[in-house]
Amino acid sequence: MSDNNTPAESPESHAIPRGDASGFVKYFKHDFLSGLLVFLIALPLCLGISLACGYPPIAGIFTAIIGSILTTFISNSELTIKGPAAGLIVIAIGCIEDFGGDGMTGGWTDADITAYQAALAVGVAAAVIQILFGLFRGGILGEFFPISAVHGMLAAIGVIIIIKQFPVALGVSAGGEPLEMLREIPHYVAEANPAIAAIGMTSILIMFLWPLAGQRVGLLKKIPSPMIVLLVTVPMGLMFDLLHEHSYTLQGHQYQLGEQYLVKMPERIFGMFDDITAPDFNALTQGKAWKWVMMFFIIGSLESLLSAKAIDLLDPWKRKTNMNRDLVAVGIGNLGASMVGGLPMISEIVRSKANIDNGARTRFADMWHGIFLLACVALIPTVLHEIPLAALAGMLVYTGYRLAHPAEFVHVWRIGKEQLAIFVTTLIVVLATDLLIGVAAGILLKLIIHVANGVPLKSLFKPFIEVQEFDDNTSLIVAKESAVFSNWIPFRRQIEQIGLVQKRNLIIDVSDTKLVDHSVMEKLEEMERDFQQEGLQFHIRGLSQMKPLAASPQSARKGGLSTMRRVTVVADHDLESRLVDRFVELGATGFTSTPCSGAGRHRLRCGDGPSESQVRIEVVVTPETGDDVLRFLRTDVFPSHSVAVWCEDVDVVRRDHFDSSVAAAVSATPV
């Protein structure tokens, strides 16, 4: 690896850190410090996520401790942090409610305990499936789901988290379906407990404003916003005397305060071990349990795989995670956590990103963050009891906003209108039904769009490819019919087998396909990075001949004719050089110039004959370049010269012949 791929301040910039025995000692300082800083972020989030899931708060801590310590020695993912994640809140609370519990709403009752133990049994079953899936190389599961549907699912989860946690931040007990609760928000605001709402709103404001302050004052970026929330809201809770039951009156209304608004934690040192809870495996005899088993398995595995892949891209040393091994590690972690009362876990991207930013080198940073959690909860549980629930809810409101950020909608729209349709459909159906139905709706819509774009039914799930020897160390894979998300897995296996296993350069020719969808466009980029890391060449041929469905480089490409713009100009002959030079500067890849004669309206009115010194210039350009050409003519030519101009849309066979932005790429690709 070159120095450019590792942090400049790293004294070992020429070495690739590895999480083995020597790495534990060599990188101790970096990993220990990063583990401490990640612990400061993880502590409140683990508590908040656990409560939002309808589990006891200690459950999230169990998960983070077991996940961080177990997976460190199983997975080869060097920088991911394992633990509970906001993305699983919707599934976990749904499972709890289906078994008759309501979590923190209305207090911790016998019905909540029964539902909690049933959810633990569901977690055990899902973990066993995860382990088996990883052992049988099922880590490629993450390659099937279309990217826009996955992002739509995550955005829906974010919206649900906001809807569910906003009442908690106001001190209001609430429950129900997301859309029902959304309609009730004005009622929640009217019923808010002012003291608790002050804590919740302060938490939300800090979570939103602290990153902005960090942009202005670099030193503040080092302090995680969840810790600032605790430093501010815990004293607020003490000021409101939440440790003792009492009431207060404000504007004629009486409000109650007490320990029900604080995190419930063990009352003595090492008391956390008294809260270990065993699963109730009798729950698995009920048919509804297996719906939740599949939800935990599919969504949890998918989120974990996507997070691990994202962190691999951020890894300064570009180390690559074995996804099957990582899935086994997460499954074993989930098995251990569920057996003692913990939440489901995944490779969590926010804490993993913080781990990278804090300078971690190896997987032992994950272990240290778990050890710090263990020490904190075992030794000072009474301090954690002073954390207000509204503060944790405020943190989760911000987490939900991050998942459903408005920029995500804009990003998807720029990739293509059809991608936005899939994204929004998935989001709406998830809100109206559940995660699996929502994702299925997004996948179904994408398949319908593919068929409408000319993809033959026979190639939706089976790639039609030919493999040819290009030269001694290069192979050519010719794709026929289509290259779309639903037939990508066998296509990818062929690419890996010929290229990465046999160590051959590859040329992928997609010029004969009807469609290359957005998901495959992104995955081809990933494959190109994989080949570069192995010192191999990876070229994609034929994309330039296809019509992009949006301006983004990652947008889908459709085969057939591409629509371009033909601009025709008739002007005096002495303008020819100036016009041609400017058209080429603006992006025209060629032109046609023909001497001509003629007369316009002015010459005919004056009775003059045709002008013999005119020239007809014609260029075929992209619509964007056509707009630039017309803008130049209007501002620089029309005011001082008499010219005739007309435009028309034309269909061309080879887009790359007329698009200067792809000319360099085409010339660089082997033919």
For 9-18, 83-92, 149-158, which range has the lowest pLDDT when averaged over its residues?
A: 9-18
Q: Are residues 384 and 524 in the same domain?
A: no
CATH number at residue 585: 3.30.70.120
The CA distance from 121 to 280, in Å, is 6
pLDDT in tens, 225-241: 999 999 999 999 999 99
Task: Say what the pLDDT of residue 606 is.
Answer: 74
pLDDT band of 438, cuts 50, 70, 90: very high
> Whose CA is closest to 481, among 436, 520, 530?
520
Instruction: List, in order, residues 6 or more apart from 373 with CB less than 8 Å away.
Output: 39, 42, 43, 46, 61, 64, 65, 68
pLDDT of 602 higher than 80: no
pLDDT in tens, 118-140: 999 999 999 999 999 999 988 88
Task: Say what the pLDDT of residue 194 is.
Answer: 96
pLDDT in tens, 169-227: 999 988 888 999 999 999 999 999 999 999 999 999 999 999 999 888 877 888 899 99
Q: Are residues 480 and 628 in the same domain?
A: no
pLDDT of 450 higher than 90: yes
Which structural domain, as residue segments, surrounds residue 131? 34-406
Task: Say what the pLDDT of residue 280 is.
Answer: 97
Task: Say what the pLDDT of residue 14 is.
Answer: 55
Q: Looking at the DSSP assignment, which residues form a beta bridge with residue 512?
A: 480
pLDDT band of 344, cuts 50, 70, 90: very high
On whether residue 25 sits in a domain, the answer given is no
Q: Are residues 553 and 599 in the same domain?
A: no
pLDDT of 7 higher than 50: no
On whether residue 666 sits in a domain, the answer given is no
DSSP class of 272: G
What integer is the mean pLDDT of 290-294?
96
pLDDT in tens, 267-289: 888 888 899 999 999 999 999 99
Q: Are residues 541 and 567 in the same domain?
A: no
On whether residue 427 sits in a domain, the answer given is no
Number of domains in the chain: 3
Task: Say what the pLDDT of residue 542 is.
Answer: 86
> Whose CA is closest to 358, among 591, 2, 31?
31
Backbone φ and ψ for 477, nearest 5 degrees, come out as: -110, 115
CATH number at residue 483: 3.30.750.24
pLDDT band of 1, cuts 50, 70, 90: very low
pLDDT of 62 higher than 80: yes
Q: Residues 657, 661, 665, CA angle at the centre, nearest 5°?
A: 80
Computed on alpha carbons and rounded to an integer, the radius of gyration of the chain in Å comes to 30
| Packing angle, helices 147-170 and 406-415, rounded to 10 | 170
String of b and e for 345-371 (b: at least 16 CB within 10 Å)? bbbbbbbbbbbbebbbbbbbbbbbbbb
Q: Residues 467, 469, 475, CA angle at the centre, nearest 5°?
A: 70
Q: Are residues 625 and 518 in the same domain?
A: no
Q: Are residues 377 and 237 in the same domain?
A: yes
pLDDT band of 306, cuts 50, 70, 90: confident
Task: Say what the pLDDT of residue 4 is.
Answer: 40
On whether residue 28 sits in a domain, the answer given is no
pLDDT in tens, 494-544: 999 999 999 999 999 998 899 999 999 999 998 998 999 889 999 998 887
Last residue of a domain, which of 406, 441, 472? Answer: 406
What integer is the mean pLDDT of 48-70?
94
Task: Say what the pLDDT of residue 611 is.
Answer: 67
Task: Say what the pLDDT of residue 175 is.
Answer: 82
The CA distance from 628 to 588, in Å, is 10
Average pLDDT over the chain, rounded to whole? 90
Q: Are residues 93 and 219 in the same domain?
A: yes
Q: Are residues 265 and 322 in the same domain?
A: yes
The CA distance from 462 to 342, in Å, is 41
The more confidently predicted of residues 661 and 364 is 364
What share of the chain has pLDDT > 90, as a percent?
Answer: 73
The CA distance from 505 to 539, in Å, is 8
Q: Are residues 354 and 476 in the same domain?
A: no
Last residue of a domain, which of 510, 536, 558? Answer: 558
Q: Are residues 519 and 630 in the same domain?
A: no
CA distances 134 to 77, 144, 367, 519, Å, are 14, 16, 22, 23
On whether residue 447 sits in a domain, the answer given is no
Q: Are residues 528 and 619 in the same domain?
A: no
pLDDT band of 642, cuts 50, 70, 90: confident
C-alpha torsion sign, points 375, 377, 378, 380: positive
Q: Residues 47, 371, 326, CA angle at the centre, nearest 5°?
A: 85
Q: Are residues 612 and 598 in the same domain?
A: yes
